[in-house]
Amino acid sequence: MDRICCIPWNRRKVFKALGVIPVILTLALFGWSLVGYTMSILPLIHKESSWLAVILGALIYALWVLSAWSYIGCVFVSPGNPVVAGSQAGAGAAESSSFSRNGPYIRVPSRPAESARTRADSSVRMADDQESLSSEESARGSFDNGNCSDNDSTPLNEEQMRRSEFMYAITVKDNGEPRYCLKCNLPKPDRAHHCSVCGVCVLKMDHHCPWINNCVGFNNQKSFLLFIAYSTLYCLDIAVTSLVFYLRLIFNAPGSAEIDITPLFLIILSLAFTMALIGFFGFHIYLTLNNLTTIESYERNNFRQEHDSRGSGKKHVNLFDLGAKKNLKQIFGPRWTLWFVPVRTQVGNGMRFPISYKNYNELCHN
């Protein structure tokens, strides 16, 4: 009995287990909405026009498939963590002999927090930063005179995007020190944050979403954006068509005729979800076009400056904003034909991100 009482209660595992409930509820609502629409609304549309029923039915089924596909990607695709991404980058670096550009990035063995941080700062970050920044400076010139080699009228061209991969860990804490996760015992890459529910650091973490029982991060951000986009269109389509044809049924039905209430539930739920999703989708479109995450929208990054002797960072300038077009390409990939398909086409590995030299100049001269 004493042994049983001494077993530690892992709250994280309990929360993750309970997180399956919203996922099951979401899938059940998706399934019920499609069945209810097929059994109740499509017959009403078919009475008016068979061709219209075919067109609207095909549209609903297409949106349902795309929404479900995107949702599965959100739930089952890992958002990415530095250990896995760094191991893959380190392996590629060993083969290509470009060690300073791609890695390494490994978990620091468990040890007292201060010694782990000191060792990580000295042996992992500082050596790599010095080599990376010196390579970057030789490639694009010094920032000493406040001039950059790129045109200030455009954020970044392709060559600058390639070269700016050398800018490693440009984000720092409020006091200018490197960002370090004491729970994972590893330095934090740019835009990575620790999720207390998942128990790991997440690459380009946006937020932890209970409806997918997962974090939205670098690897599944595209699936999440497509999910809320297709879900908004799906709910809007159901709400409009159900409302129109259900009202026509009520007005044209005899006084003693029984009327199915399933369309009424469809209308109420679809309208509620549509209004919620439109605002949510609009907010995430704003974040995407400005290359921000939800965390970064209310907790702006501190950026390290190359010639700041105090090592302090500054806020209010987003170095990751390359312009709307390039920001979209980072998430959806260079081929626009795959933008609307929930497959992984994002650019990079989530460890390093290109920066805008124009914004960097603005940061240095503020």
User: Active-site residue numbers?
Assistant: 209
Contact yes or no for 243/259 (Cβ under 8 A)? no
Contact yes or no for 279/241 (Cβ under 8 A)? no
Strands 200-202 and 193-195: antiparallel
Give, for 215, the enclosing helix (H) or strand (E).
strand 214-216
Contact partners, residue 299, CB within 8 Å, separation at least 6: none
Q: Write the Ramachandran bin of 185: left for phi over 0, alpha for psi from -120 to 50, otherwise beta.
A: left
Find the angle CA(23)-CA(26)-CA(28) to the nearest 5 degrees: 110
DSSP string, 114-138: HHHHHHIIIIIIIHHHHHHHHHHHH
CA 23 – CA 232 distance, rounded (Å): 18
